[in-house]
Amino acid sequence: MSSTKCIMGTRKKARAFVRVRPTDDFAHEMIRYGDDNRTINIHLRKDTQRGMVANQQTDWSFKLDGILHNASQDVVYETVAKDVVSQALSGYNGTIICYGQMGAGKTYTMTGATDTYKHRGILPRALQQVFRTIRERPTQAITVRVSYLEIYNDSLFDLLSTLPYVGPSVTPMTIVENPQGVFIKGLSVHLTSQEEDAYSLLFEGESNRITASHTMNKNSSRSHSIFTIYVEAQSRTLSEAKHITSKINLVDLASSDTWGKSGSEGRVLKEATYINKSLSFLEQAIIALGDQKRDHIPFRQCKLTHALKDSLVGNCTMVLVTSIYGEAAWLEETLSSLRFASRMKLVTTEPAINEKYDAERVVKDLENKLALLKHELATRNRLANRPLVNYEPLDEIRIAEISSQVRRYLERTLDEIDILSLRQIREVFNQFRVVLRQGL
Model confidence pLDDT, tens digit, residues 318-345: 999 999 999 998 898 999 999 999 999 9
Task: Name the E strands within 71-200.
Answer: 94-100, 140-152, 155-158, 174-178, 181-185, 190-191
Between CA 406 and CA 55 the distance in angstroms is: 98
Partners of 184 in beta bridges: 175
Specify the pairing of strand 353-358 against strand 190-191. Answer: unpaired
Between CA 91 and CA 7 the distance in angstroms is: 10
**pLDDT for residue 214 is more than 60:** no
Average pLDDT on 35-46 reads: 89
Task: Check residue 362 and give its pLDDT.
Answer: 65
**pLDDT for residue 2 is more than 80:** no
Partners of 250 in beta bridges: 96, 227
Q: Higher confidence at residue 308 or residue 369? A: 308
Model confidence pLDDT, tens digit, residues 11-28: 888 999 999 999 899 998
* CB-based burial label for 278 (10 Å; 0-12, 13-18, 19+): buried
Residue pair 298/286 in contact (Cβ under 8 Å)? The answer is: no
Residue pair 123/116 in contact (Cβ under 8 Å)? The answer is: no
Task: Check residue 392 and give its pLDDT.
Answer: 73
Partners of 319 in beta bridges: 15, 96
pLDDT band at 259 (very low <50, low <70, confident <90, very high): very low
**pLDDT for residue 262 is more than 50:** no
Task: Check residue 324 and give its pLDDT.
Answer: 93
pTM: predicted TM-score of the whole model, two decimal places: 0.79
φ, ψ of residue 37 to 5 degrees: the values are 60, 25
Between CA 292 and CA 272 the distance in angstroms is: 32
Task: Check residue 315 and give its pLDDT.
Answer: 86
pLDDT band at 189 (very low <50, low <70, confident <90, very high): very high
**pLDDT for residue 51 is more than 80:** no
Nearest to 100 by CA among 266, 381, 339, 356: 339
Q: Higher confidence at residue 61 or residue 388? A: 61
Model confidence pLDDT, tens digit, residues 84-128: 999 999 999 999 999 998 888 899 999 998 778 889 999 999 999
